[in-house]
Amino acid sequence: MNPIALTILGFSITWYGILIGSGIMIAFFLAQYTCKIKNISYDTILNIALISLPIGIVGARLYYVIFNWDVYKMEPMQVFNTRGGGLAIHGGLIFGLLAALVYTYIKKIDFLTYVDAAAPTIIIAQALGRWGNFINSEAHGREVSTEFIKHFPSFIQKGMYISEGNLPAVYYHPTFLYESVWNLIVFFILMIILRKSNKKGTVIFSYIFLYSLGRFFIEALRTDSLMLGPLRVAQCVSLVAMVISLAYITYNYFRKHH
C-alpha cells in the first residue's frame, strides 16, 4: 500500500500522519462530552492536552528509538524522521501522563479528575491511529494461512499480503486490527465507567488495565516487537501496568465499601 496520501508543493503527507491527526481531533471533540459528564472545564483539559500531547509524542519517539538503538546509531539523523512511523504508544502514554501530572500539580488542578475524563478520548484516538500501521504494512503478526486470512474483508487480506525484503509475499496476522477493535471495546467500557463511577482514578486506571491486557496478548503475535534481551518490552510494561492499575482499582473499591 502507498503510505503517501498526497503531495503538496513537493511535501509528502502520509496516511500515518493524517490518521494520527484525525485521532487527536476526534479526541478533542469527544472531550467536550466527557468534560460535561464529569462537570469539569473543557478549556482546562485543552490546556493540559497542549502540554502533554507534544511531550507524549516526543516520549513515544524516544521510547521507540531507545529500544531500536542498534538501527538508529548507524543513521542518527533518522531519529528525527517520524513521518513513516516509529512511535511507541507506551512511551507516549508514560511521558504524556507525567507531563499532565506535573502541569496539574503546578496549577493546583485535580490530576485524576481530568485524566479520568481524558481516558476514553485517548483510547479512541489509539483505535484510529492503529490503521496507520496497516497502511505502512508494519506492526503485523506472524505468518498465517490462506484459510485463516479469508475470514477477513478483502481489503484486509490485500493489505496483509506482504513481502519482507526479497522473500515471497505471504499473509500475516492483522494485529493492528485486533488492537483497534479491542481499543473500541475498551472505549465503550470506559464510557460506562465514566458515567457510573464517582471514584477518582477509576476510569484512567481501568483504561491502563484494559489496554495493557489486550496489548499483552496481541504483542505475543507480533514479529516486530521492541526487545530487551529475550523479553518483549511491551509485554513487560503491560504486565507492570496491569499490576499497578489493578492494585489501585482494588484499593479504591475497598475504600468505598469499608
pLDDT digits (tens, 9 = 90+) for 59-74: 999 998 888 887 788 8
pLDDT digits (tens, 9 = 90+) for 15-61: 988 999 999 999 999 999 999 999 999 999 999 999 999 999 999 99
At residue 204, what are phi and psi to the nearest 5 degrees? Answer: -65, -40
Read off the pTM.
0.92
pLDDT for 258 = 52
Q: Are 208 and 123 in contact (CB under 8 A)?
A: no
The H-assigned helical ranges of 170-231 are 175-196, 202-219
Residues in Cβ contact with 195 at an 8 Å cutoff, skipping those fewer than 6 apart: 37
Distance CA 140, CA 128 (A): 16
> Domain of 248?
4-257
Q: The cell 507506551 sits on which residue? A: 90
- Mutual orientation of helices 111-135 and 175-196 as an angle, nearest 10°? 160
CB 129 within 8 Å of CB 92: no
Number of structural domains found in the chain? 1
Reference 203, options 131, 108, 114; nearest CA is 114
> Do 182 and 189 touch, CB atoms closer than 8 A?
no
Provide the residue count of the chain: 258
211-250 residue pLDDT tens: 999 999 999 999 989 888 899 999 999 999 999 999 999 9
